[in-house]
Structure 1
Amino acid sequence: MILVTGATGFVGQALMRDLASRGMAYRGASRRQGTGHVVVGDMTGDTDWSAALAGTEIVIHLAARTHVLNETATDPLAAYRAVNVDATLNLARQAARAGVRQFVFLSSVKVNGERTLPGHPFRESDPPRPEDGYGISKREAEDGLLALAGETGMAVTVLRPPLVYGPGVKANFASLVRLSTTGLPLPFGAVRNERSLVYVGNLTDAIIRVLDQPAAAGQVFLVADAERPSIGALVTEIAAAAGKPARQFSVPPSWISAALKFWGRGAMAERLLGSLTVDTGKIHSLLGWTPPSSLQDGLRATLGSEPPA
Structure 2
Amino acid sequence: MITGANGFLGQALCAQAVVRGMGVRGTTRLPHGRLAGVEPCAVGDIDGLTPWQAALTGCEVVVHLAARVHVMQEVAAHPLAEFRKVNVEGTLNLARQAAAAGVRRFVFLSSIKVNGEATQPGVPYRADDTPAPQDPYGLSKFEAEQGLHQIALQTGMELVVIRPPLVYGPGVKANFASMMRLLQRGIPLPLGAIHNRRSLVALDNLVDLIVLCITHPAATNQTFLVSDGEDVSTPELLRRTGQAMGHPARLLSVPTPCLRLAAAIVGRQDVAGRLWGSLQLDIEKTQRLLGWRPPLTLNQGLKQAVKGYGREAGR
Does TM-score exceed 0.5, indicating one fold?
A: yes
RMSD (CA atoms)? 1.5
How far the C-alpha of 1:88 sits from its partner, in A, is 0.4
1-structure distance, mates of 2:148, 2:222 = 11
Q: 1:16 aligns with which of 14, 17, 27?
A: 14
Answer yes or no: is 1:51 the counterpart of 2:54: yes
Corresponding residue number in structure 1 for 2:214: 211
C-alpha distance after superposition, 1:229-282 (max 9, x if no partner): 100000001101111122223121121121122122111110100000100000
User: Counterpart of 1:159?
Assistant: 162
1:103, 1:94 → 2: CA distance? 11
Please give the alpha-carbon distance, in whole angstroms, between the structure 1 residues aligned to 2:108 and 2:197: 26
Alpha-carbon offset, residue 204 of structure 1: 0.4
CA distance in 1, matches of 2:42, 2:187: 46
2:85 aligns to what SS in structure 1?
helix
Matches within 5 A, 1:123-162: 123-162=126-165
Counterpart of 1:61, as a letter, is: H
Aligned-pair identity in percent equals: 53
1:5 matched to 2:3? yes
Residues 1:285 and 2:288 aligned together: yes
Measured against aligned partners, the alpha-carbon deviations of 1:91-131 in whole angstroms (never above 9, x if no partner) come to 00110111100000000000000000011000012111101
For the 8 Å contact 2:99–2:157, the answer to whether it is kept is: yes
Match of 1:195 among 181, 195, 198: 198
Q: TM-score, normalised by structure 1?
A: 0.95
Q: Distance in 2 between matches of 1:66 and 1:184?
A: 29
Q: How does 1:19-98 map to 2 (within 5 A)?
A: 19-36=17-34, 37-98=40-101
Evaluate the alpha carbon distance shift between residue 190 and residue 70 of structure 1 in structure 2; reply closer, same or farther with a 3 A threshold: closer
> Gaps spanning 5+ residues in structure 2: where?
35-39, 311-315
Contact 1:241 1:305 (C-alpha < 8 Å) held by counterparts: no
Question: Residue 48 of structure 1: CA displacement?
Answer: 0.7
Aligned to 1:112: 115
SS of residue paired to 1:158: strand
| 1:121 equivalent among 110, 124, 130 | 124
Q: Deviations over 1:57-93 (max 9, x none)?
A: 0000000001234433221111101100111011001
Aligned pair in 2 of structure 1 residues 109, 287: CA closer, same or farther (>3 Å)?
same
How high is the TM-score relative to the length of structure 2?
A: 0.94
Equivalenced residue count is 305
Tell me the equivalent position of 1:247. Answer: 250
Cα pair distance change 1:244/1:56, threshold 3 Å: same
d(CA) in 2 for partners of 1:35 and 1:52?
17
